[in-house]
Structure 1
């Protein structure tokens, strides 16, 4: 799951990023209005953590821009300005939640998990599809009620596909979501094939009722 952290305090941003990465999230950073807007315009995220006070513009202005360009990311406002007006305006502009600084990292983790559950999993910790159950809390899966061990990227790939069953996923979108925004600097995306090949083998060996089908020249889809 991919998160964009927009926070101009570098030290705080690093602490938050390290905490989120320990929870197996893929985290990208932006430190000002313009760089944040550029990232949001080009890439997609599961969740955006948005500070209100930013160099070059406010987080509320950025929130307006996000909705204006039709992005649908879940958004949590992070701000030291704990005023009712800011909170109400942020929620009216489309934010999903509001967390006032200082906050405990455990609370931030809980808010992120809650938002992602609501958006992608209908509020459930476990997603079931055919004979597969994916537990997003402990990042485990079962096939036919038996546990199957996946590495981090294999789990992220399966989760990405299983919340988008039968949808054609372009290779670039898949790479950005699992490996991050810097993927556009890679010489090729051939490594995705090997990761999917390994995942498909584990699914087949454990008699999963699904498969990841390659669509030549475009990408993949879960069938």
Structure 2
């Protein structure tokens, strides 16, 4: 998953980042409103962890901004504010969940996974696309019921395309989603071709239809149409 942590408390932000990264996720961080605004303007995320009290702005305004530009990123509010009115306002503005500080990182991660499952996979941890079965919890993929080994990046790449099936995904969007801020250091985006080629080969070698379609000059589409 690609996640954004908007939290001004450095020690908490670092702890969350380390924990979620250790679980195999790509994490971007923002320590204030302006940084969060810039990240949300440029990138798409599976889930945004949003603190409400930021040094240079109000977190709820970022929720309103997401709604205004019709972004579909999941949002989990993490806040020390424990008033019912605050929770209702946050949820009514489009947040998916509200977690009161302090919290256990394991609970935080469980709530993130639940948000992503609801948004992309109708609440299920196991997702099917024709002969392909993807277990998002175990991080396993099967074709015709038989396991197919994928590297972590290959699994994330396939999951991203399946979650966005029938949509044209640019090479830049795929790389930024899977590699996060590290993508900015790449000289070009051509290496995504190699990763997709490897995934396609593993799928077709296992008896799966090739669902990747190249869209000239843009990127790829994962579709059976």
Return the TM-score normalized by structure 1. 0.96
Q: Can you give the 5+ residue segments of structure 2 that lack an aligned partner in the other structure?
A: none
CA deviation profile, 1:96-118 (whole Å, cap 9, x unmatched)? 10000000111111111111111
Contact preservation (8 Å) 1:43, 1:181: no
How far apart are 1:198 and its partner, in Å?
Answer: 1.0
Q: Number of residues paired by the alignment?
A: 223
Matching residue of 2:117: 117
Matching residue of 1:94: 94
Contact preservation (8 Å) 2:79, 2:99: yes
Matching residue of 2:104: 104
Matching residue of 1:215: 215
Larger deviation, residues 34-43 vs 17-26: 17-26
In 2: Cα distance, 1:116 partner to 1:210 partner: 26
Q: State whether structure 2 residue 157 is matched by structure 1 residue 163.
A: no
Matching residue of 2:83: 83
Contact preservation (8 Å) 2:200, 2:210: no
Contact preservation (8 Å) 1:203, 1:211: no
How far apart are 1:222 and its partner, in Å?
Answer: 1.5
Matching residue of 1:13: 13
Return the TM-score normalized by structure 2. 0.95
Matching residue of 2:172: 172
In 2: Cα distance, 1:123 partner to 1:37 partner: 28
How far apart are 1:51 and its partner, in Å?
Answer: 0.3
Contact preservation (8 Å) 2:96, 2:115: yes
CA deviation profile, 1:38-95 (whole Å, cap 9, x unmatched)? 1101111110000011110011122122212222211010011111121111111111
How far apart are 1:184 and its partner, in Å?
Answer: 3.4
Matching residue of 1:184: 184
Larger deviation, residues 157-166 vs 137-146: 157-166
How far apart are 1:179 and its partner, in Å?
Answer: 1.0
Contact preservation (8 Å) 1:130, 1:209: no
Matching residue of 1:32: 32
Q: State whether structure 2 residue 79 is matched by structure 1 residue 50.
A: no
- Quick one: structure 1 residues 162 and 221, their matched pair in 2 at CA, closer, same or farther if it must change by over 3 Å? same
Contact preservation (8 Å) 1:130, 1:210: no
Q: State whether structure 2 residue 69 is matched by structure 1 residue 59.
A: no
- Quick one: structure 1 residues 67 and 83, their matched pair in 2 at CA, closer, same or farther if it must change by over 3 Å? same
How far apart are 1:125 and its partner, in Å?
Answer: 0.8
In 2: Cα distance, 1:168 partner to 1:92 partner: 31
How far apart are 1:182 and its partner, in Å?
Answer: 4.2
